[in-house]
């Protein structure tokens, strides 16, 4: 078992609830061909992992979804997307913990003050107009 940790890359949910895994992540988890992964959620994060098999019996705690090796895509079950309100374009932070792929939904809020109102997107982050104005006032010549 590899106990590596890879922390933090942000990806967006694509249409039909798929998420594209970066090649380094696929390599770390040895995901080179199509296979089914178990997708579970603990209410805070989404975990994708190979299902546990004991005495030839598959032990399932979540739903199985196919990992598409050619496109590097994993489908997030719609029930889980609903729980986290993950619609197309929503962002998730992807990391690896041991043998598990961990996806943490990122809620749309200002990176500085956590406001959820009047957001602008800049460099893959959200900034509220208030903070954007304060920054531009600081840098204005
Ligand atoms: Zn702000």
Same domain for 15 and 62, yes or no, is: yes
Amino acid 43: pLDDT: 86
Q: How many CA atoms lie within 13 A of 92 on its CB side?
A: 30
Assign residue 38 the CATH number of its domain: 3.40.1550.20
Distance (angstroms) between ligand 1 centre and the Cα of 112 equals: 5
Q: How many residues would you count in the chain?
A: 141
Separation of 133 CA from ligand 1 center, angstroms?
9
> Are 81 and 137 a contacting pair, CB within 8 Å?
no
The pLDDT of residue 141 is above 80:
no
For residue 140, name the pLDDT band (cuts at 50, 70, 90).
confident
Q: What is the pTM of this model?
A: 0.77
What pLDDT score does 123 carry?
Answer: 82
Query: Given a cut of 80, is residue 7 above it in pLDDT?
Result: no
* Å from CA of 95 to ligand 1 middle: 26
Find the 89 Cα to ligand 1 centroid distance in Å.
21
**Looking at the structure, do residues 132 and 95 belong to the same domain, yes or no?**
no
Q: How far is the CA of 132 from the centre of ligand 1 (A)?
A: 7
Please give the average per-residue pLDDT across 76-85, as a whole number. Answer: 92
Q: Are residues 23 and 9 in the same domain?
A: yes
Look up the domain containing 131 and give its range. Answer: 109-141
Average pLDDT over residues 54-80: 93
117 and 141 housed in the same domain? yes
Q: What is the pLDDT of residue 40?
A: 96
- Judged against a pLDDT cut of 70, whether residue 24 lies above it is answered with yes
Q: Are 86 and 33 found together in one domain?
A: yes
Q: Same structural domain for residues 27 and 73?
A: yes
For residue 127, report the distance from its CA to the centre of ligand 1, in Å.
5
Six token digits for residue 109: 């809020």
Q: What percent of the chain has pLDDT over 70?
A: 94
Check pLDDT > 50 for residue 105.
yes
Pair 73, 126 in one domain: no
Residues 58, 121, single domain; the answer is no
Looking at the structure, tell me whether residues 39 and 19 fall in a common domain. yes
If asked whether residues 94 and 122 sit together in one domain, one would say no
Instruction: Report pLDDT for 1.
Output: 46
Ligand 1: centre distance to CA 123 (Å): 15
CB 12 within 8 A of CB 22: no
CA 111 – ligand 1 centroid, Å: 7
């Amino acid at each position: 078992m590899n106990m590596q940790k890879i922390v933090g890359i942000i990806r967006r949910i694509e249409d039909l609830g798929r998420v594209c895994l970066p090649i380094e992540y696929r390599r770390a988890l040895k995901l080179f061909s199509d296979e089914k992964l178990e997708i579970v959620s603990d209410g805070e994060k989404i975990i994708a992992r190979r299902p546990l098999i004991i005495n030839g019996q598959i032990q399932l705690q979540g739903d199985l979804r196919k990992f598409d090796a050619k496109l590097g895509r994993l489908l997030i079950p719609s029930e889980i997307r609903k729980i986290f309100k993950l619609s197309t374009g929503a962002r998730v932070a992807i990391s690896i913990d041991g043998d598990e792929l961990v996806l943490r939904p990122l809620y749309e809020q200002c990176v500085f003050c956590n406001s959820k109102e009047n957001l602008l997107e800049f460099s893959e982050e959200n900034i509220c107009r208030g903070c954007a104005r304060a920054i531009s006032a600081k840098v204005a010549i």
